Structure 1
Amino acid sequence: MGFEDVVIFAGSSSRTLTDRICVHLNTLPGRNETKIFSEGNTFVRVLENVRGREAFIVQSTVFPTNDSFMELLFWIDALKRASAASVTAVIPYFSYAKGDKKDEPRVSIRARVCADCIEAAGADRVVTMDLHAPQIQGFFRIPVDNLYALPVLCDHVRSLNLPNLVVVSPDAGFVKAARRYAAYLGASLAIANKERPDHTENAEVLEIIGEVAGKTALIVDDFTISGGTLAEVARRLVEAGAVEVYAMVTHGVFTPGSVEKIEASPLKKLFFTDSIETHQVKLSPKMEVVSVASLLAEAIRRIYTHESISGMFPV
């Protein structure tokens, strides 16, 4: 296929992933540069002609979250002002997706504020992956493609031929998604009954619902930040008789202290995608990265050729 009218740029938080995407599309990343001035201001510059071309900017909004988000807005604005025919913001990890509702008095719906900013900057489309709250798509008045890492992660797990597999949802809120993982893998389903009393990112697992004794348990979730939930669920699964415990998440955020929790837990392996590459911690041998570059590349190709995005995923 010809990609003469498409140019894919990397933001500073997703340069490696962008390179991998471009390899799958047999193209080169667009030339650009990001500078941070001494007072903290961010400066971006497009270094090639984008007039009349379809531009994609790949930028995860994390580490540092606010700086990465502002840089994304500046890239959108720069590309629009350079007369790109369209600008698609590819956001592998949309950090503020957790702020999707007003669940306490006098708090901001942060995801909605971010959506308004992305639109105001001039984005024509957003591509993201495993939004923490899928209803965030409705915060936008422009098209939003929410991709799923499920087929990539599950195909990797399948290749390991883990015996007698049971998929475990870490809480009741993720059961619907966990059921899709179980169906894809042809596995049974169990649920961890979890309680999170405050914003400390510490959760208490009260019980395991479902049969896990004598089985290989696979905990699935959309992201992990502190590692606390995965470690606690893994311990409870072993207590309930699970032979081995694995975990896979789309977004491995990993704040300081998280790796130590994973290391000290019964988890044999934690799989996560390369949606985030600017980690502040040194990853553990227990952790394995599974690339979603092929998934994002296929989405970009389908957007360019006006094909269905939903057709990429199992029903």
Structure 2
Amino acid sequence: MQNGEIKIFAGSSGRLFAERMCNYMGTQLGISQVITFSEGNTYVKAGETVRDKDVYLVQPIGLKPNDEFVEILFWMDAFKRASANSVTAIIPYFSYAKADKKDEPRVSIRARVCAESIELAGADRVVTMDLHSPQVQGFFKKPVDHLFALPLICEYIKSLQLEDIIVVSPDAGFAKQARKYADYLKTSVAIGDKTRKEHNEKAEILEIIGDVAGKNTIIVDDFSLSGGTLVDLARALKDKGAKKIIACLSHNLLSKEGIEKIENSPIEELVATDSVYNPLISTSNKIKTLSVAPLFAEAIMRIHRRESVSPLFNVLPDSVIKEIKE
């Protein structure tokens, strides 16, 4: 099937991100309408024709995951019924990727349910970033382009020109990804020994594996809700003699209480992307937001031109790096 004309639309939680993508690409955002009725029902409508166009719908599944997920389903159906040539779901943050397995009796594998539903609703392709569980890609039968915030975050860290840095993983589960950060920055890794006893957002840092004394530490993780793990780890690093402490997140879902914890912690700066629209972070002086919208825009243009997306996994185009420096 030949490429149709490209058209980008935004869901209710993806408008700002989609506008940044369109600014980078030099195109106009599609006209769309989302209404939430008094009883909670959601109504979506494309305000212009999409017949024979390649449609890209931008909608993170983030701070209101149930509403945002259902809205994606309605958008997929609307575009398919309007005779779009293809429909791609741009999901910068896929919240339900955390639920990737049946680790207890009588529970749902929610990530698989979401993946199947999005496909059945009409998605021909999915583009996302830093899935909590990368194997979620296997729940989709359609192509999934899995982007990474790592190069963008590392380029920002390099721009700070810090000496004697070490990358710190909050637990053994994230150590493999932390090693990738360390390889990019040409440094070593330390690991926090973390335990979580219940289904809540409270974890306990038991020990730091690695020498952090006298070093500038870069904590890396995919997301944080309460900020508890980051703050506990930062305090443990200070107790071990660490100097500057910077935390880096792919997705910023911090609550109001979490932001307050960060503000009152040894963390000097928290670096995160704009994959989730979180209005609460505007109250913090410590949080630095990097836009991954240009990265997604590059991916879309490559997909549309039938080019490989994989070069974006490790090396960013100069035009994307320029966005951080500005």
TM range (shorter): over 0.9
Q: Is the 8 A contact 1:253 1:279 kept in 2?
A: no
What pairs up with 1:1-315 in 2 under 5 angstroms? 5-279=5-279, 283-314=283-314
**Distance across 2 between alignment mates of 1:281 and 1:296:** 22
The CA deviation at 1:281 is 6.3
- Per-residue CA shift, 1:149-168, capped at 9, x if unaligned? 11111111111111211000
The CA deviation at 1:265 is 1.2
Q: Is the 8 A contact 1:63 1:279 kept in 2?
A: no
- Corresponding letter in the other structure for 1:292: V
Q: Is the 8 A contact 1:248 1:272 kept in 2?
A: yes
TM-score, normalised by the number of residues in structure 1: 0.97
- Corresponding letter in the other structure for 2:184: Y
Q: In structure 1, the residue corresponding to 2:208 is in which secondary structure?
A: strand
**Distance across 1 between alignment mates of 2:263 and 2:181:** 25
- Corresponding letter in the other structure for 1:261: K
Q: Is the 8 A contact 1:191 1:209 kept in 2?
A: yes
Q: Is the 8 A contact 2:216 2:244 kept in 1?
A: yes
Q: Is the 8 A contact 1:254 1:279 kept in 2?
A: no
Q: Is the 8 A contact 1:52 1:85 kept in 2?
A: yes
Q: Is the 8 A contact 1:55 1:85 kept in 2?
A: yes
- Corresponding letter in the other structure for 1:181: Y
**Distance across 2 between alignment mates of 1:179 and 1:212:** 15
- Corresponding letter in the other structure for 1:68: E
Q: In structure 1, the residue corresponding to 2:60 is in which secondary structure?
A: coil
- Corresponding letter in the other structure for 1:216: N
The CA deviation at 1:280 is 5.2
The CA deviation at 1:264 is 1.6
The CA deviation at 1:4 is 7.4
The CA deviation at 1:309 is 1.1
- Corresponding letter in the other structure for 2:308: S
Q: Is the 8 A contact 2:128 2:146 kept in 1?
A: yes
Q: In structure 2, the residue corresponding to 1:251 is in which secondary structure?
A: strand
Q: Is the 8 A contact 1:10 1:57 kept in 2?
A: yes
- What percentage of aligned pairs have identical amino acids? 55
- Corresponding letter in the other structure for 2:266: P
- Corresponding letter in the other structure for 2:289: V
Q: In structure 2, the residue corresponding to 1:22 is in which secondary structure?
A: helix
The CA deviation at 1:278 is 3.9
TM-score, normalised by the number of residues in structure 2: 0.94
Which contiguous aligned blocks of 4+ residues in structure 1 show a shift greater than 6 angstroms?
A: none
| Number of corresponding residues | 313
**Distance across 1 between alignment mates of 2:138 and 2:198:** 27
